[in-house]
Every structure is written in structure tokens, then in C-alpha cells.
Structure 1
Amino acid sequence: MEDNRTARIRAADADRERVATAVQTAGSEGRLTLEEVEERLAHVYRARFTDELTALTADLPRPAPARPGFPLTRAGLRRHPALRLHLAVAVAIAVLAIVRWAVLGVGFFWPAIPIFWLAVSLFVHARVRSFRESPGAAVPY
């Protein structure tokens, strides 16, 4: 075999599917005409090596890097102990308010007001955390 052939990497089905998705997305965004999409998809599924696939998407914009998700998820709460503590305190206060309301027998469900503000504070805290994790966020000194 030639030396330039040994440096080439064979394309897997997953590589072809990834490039086909990128081509289809570009077509749905209007970056490629229907004929260009069909032509490129035909080349994608005929490609044997990864460099052939790279050439088919070289003129397309790269997708934006994924932003971290909203941190009120299990994974987000595991990463942020302060957010986990905030959630625990908010739940404890809400439970105490509901128990007090039930014991006193007041007709109006007044715990809804503090529970609302506890939820707002929790969402603001989570939003600030996600903003700080986002790429390009200003780092305080």
C-alpha cells in the first residue's frame, strides 16, 4: 500500500450519519438547495474515508458548542452543593408553612405566597449558576 493511503482513516456508519445529518440540517436551513443536498448525500454514503466526509461539510458553519443546561436537574444539583442546599432549605420552609396552615385551619392557603417567592429565589439562583458556566461569561475578579 502507498504511504498516503495508510494515513487515511476509514469512515464508519456513525461518521456518515453525522455528516448526513449536518447536510440535511443545512438544507432545511436554506444553506443548500435540494439538488446540492441530494448530491452531497449521495457522496456521503459513497465515502470510504473520513477526509472525503470532511470535504462535504467544509463550507458549512460549525454548530455552536453546547451550553450547559439549566442546573435544576439531578446532574446540575450534584455539581452545585450550594444550589442543593438552597433547594433543601426552600422545601423545608415550604413544608413547615403548609403544616402550620393545616394545623391552624385557616381557609385561605397563605403558604402559596412564600412558596412562590422561594421558587423564584431558587430559579434565580439556578439561572445565575447556569450563566456563570456558559462559555464567554465574565469572570469576576
Structure 2
Amino acid sequence: MEDTSSARIRAADADRERVATTVQTAGAEGRLTLDEVEERLSRVYSARFTDELAALTTDLPRPAPPSPGFPLTREALRRHPALRVHLAVVVAIAVLVVVRWAVLGAGFFWPAFPVFWLGMSLLVHARVRSVRQRPRAAVPY
């Protein structure tokens, strides 16, 4: 008979805490009764292997990934110098086209179109940066 326990991975305290948080969240959402939460938490903290932890959350839905906020923030500008340069270029071109419009005395405010597309390019740039920098979510057990 082959020893299957040697192929199993031992659970770390961080693994247990992650599963305990999942169980507590499910209880807070009303997916588990108080008795079920207590029972599962006692089994979480007594689990020795990760497959035992996985069995405690298989019937629970996975959490939805966090929705990203507005991509163009001061923090994003601080972290990404390319965004600062892009913002400076957008502002400089916007000022130039508005000044040109004002000096030429055109009645129709045509700079609205290039300024809009410049702003959109900046938002797309910031969004791409935020998606690339988003940490990968750990898979709960």
C-alpha cells in the first residue's frame, strides 16, 4: 500500500487564516449558519493538510474580483513617470489649441474635439497601467 500522506502538502498558518476568512465571510453573508461556521472553523484550525482546507470551501462561491477604481489618481501619477509625461503633453497641447482658437477668433470651439481625444488617450493609458500593475488574486483553498 502506497503512503498517500507523503504526497500531500502541509497547511501553513497563512493558509488556515485565508480559509477561515472565507468561512467567516460566507457566514456574514448568510451562506452558512452560525453552527456551520463554528464547525468549519474548528475543522479549519485542526486541519493539517491543504486538501482538508479545500474541502471546507468547495461549496462556497468564489469572491468577485475587486473592481478597479478611477485609474488616473495622484498615486498612479506618482508611481508611473510615463503617465506624468503623458499628462504634461495633454495639458500643453490643450493649452496650445485653446490659445490658437482664442487668437484666431473662431466662433466655433473646435479645440473641444482634440482635447477630448487627448483626455481619452490619457485615461486609456492610465487604465492599462492599472490593469498591468494589479496584483494577481490568490486562489483560496
- Normalised-by-shorter TM-score class: 0.5 to 0.7
Corresponding residue number in structure 1 for 2:10: 10
Counterpart residue number, 2:80: 77
Aligned counterpart, 1:60: 60
Q: What stretches of structure 2 of length at least 5 have no aligned partner?
A: 96-114, 132-141
Identity %: 66
Q: Distance in 2 between matches of 1:11 and 1:38?
A: 20
Report Cα offsets for 1:15-74 as digits up to 9, x if no partner: 000000111111111111111111111110010000000000000111223455543214
* C-alpha deviation, 1:85, in angstroms: 3.2
In structure 2, relative to structure 1, the CA distance for the partners of 1:63 and 1:85 (3 Å cut) is: same
User: Within 1, Cα distance between the matches of 2:93 and 2:122?
Assistant: 17
How many correspondences in the alignment?
Answer: 110
Name the TM-score, length of structure 1 as normaliser. Answer: 0.58
Aligned-residue Cα RMSD (Å) equals 3.8
Letter of the 2:123 counterpart: A
Q: Unmatched 5+ residue regions in structure 1? A: 96-117, 135-141
Match of 2:107 in 1: none
Q: 1:38 to 1:122 in 2, by over 3 A?
A: farther
Q: CA deviation at 1:93?
A: 7.6
